[in-house]
Chain A
Amino acid sequence: DAKTTQPNSMESNEEEPVHLPCNHSTISGTDYIHWYRQLPSQGPEYVIHGLTSNVNNRMASLAIAEDRKSSTLILHRATLRDAAVYYCILSNNNDMRFGAGTRLTVKP
């Protein structure tokens, strides 16, 4: 399985943008890039996914490098409610395997 590398933790101030990086240098041509987050005491929650082009939805934006070897999840204005563990996952089939993720702390 293609692997992803994320920082263990990041901090952000409330109402500021947050850029969460993910490296995936061994990505294959058919791998989609998925982002999930897990709030405390909850199950993981789908955030966004993409293949080659940048993607936007109501929760976040996903910026994908031209060579697809890295991507960045962008939260445009962090709120306290965005404090969670964020997982970057590669998948080309019906099989989503989670790594350790990045624990995001949002400071008021």
Chain B
Amino acid sequence: DAGVIQSPRHEVTEMGQEVTLRCKPISGHNSLFWYRQTMMRGLELLIYFNNNVPIDDSGMPEDRFSAKMPNASFSTLKIQPSEPRDSAVYFCASSRETGAANYGYTFGSGTRLTVV
């Protein structure tokens, strides 16, 4: 298995532009998670999906952020418009079954976003 695949690996964009981050979870995993990591705030859970349905988006910082999961093999995290404070590493993770208490997460390699 190729693991959780994120693209792009690096993204540099200008303030005000739209940014779309992509994630392909592991086949057979039905839960997907988006995290953001910064030096100041550490790893923050933004949103998670179960069976393609958003379950908890309370971590999404504001309306500029949106996430979709149109099918079991693809998810996007969109920032529009982007701001310099959105600069961070964004991780996607997936897990099998509900109740991740029983199953570990597999993380992607992350997308390093820089907004200038």
- B31: which A residues are within 8 A, CB to CB? 94
Interface contacts (Cβ under 8 Å), in number, total 58
- The number of residues on chain A lying at the interface, defined by a beta carbon within 8 Å of a beta carbon of chain B, is 23
- The number of residues on chain B lying at the interface, defined by a beta carbon within 8 Å of a beta carbon of chain A, is 26
A100 within 8 A of B: yes
Chain B proximity of A24: nearest CB distance (Å): 14
Main secondary structure of the interface of B (DSSP, over half): strand
Most buried by A among B95, B101, B107: B101
Given A32-B101, A44-B43; 7 other pairs, CB 8 A cutoff: A36-B105, A44-B91, A46-B104, A46-B106, A94-B31, A98-B35, A99-B42
Residues on A close to B: CB < 8 A? 30-32, 34, 36, 42-46, 49, 87, 91-101
A-B contact pairs, 24 of them (CB 8 A): A36-B105, A42-B109, A42-B110, A43-B107, A43-B108, A44-B105, A44-B107, A45-B107, A46-B104, A46-B106, A87-B43, A91-B101, A93-B101, A94-B48, A94-B95, A94-B98, A95-B48, A95-B56, A95-B100, A96-B45, A96-B100, A98-B42, A98-B45, A99-B42
Residues on B close to A: CB < 8 A? 4, 31, 33, 35, 42-43, 45, 48, 50, 55-56, 91, 93, 95, 98-102, 104-110
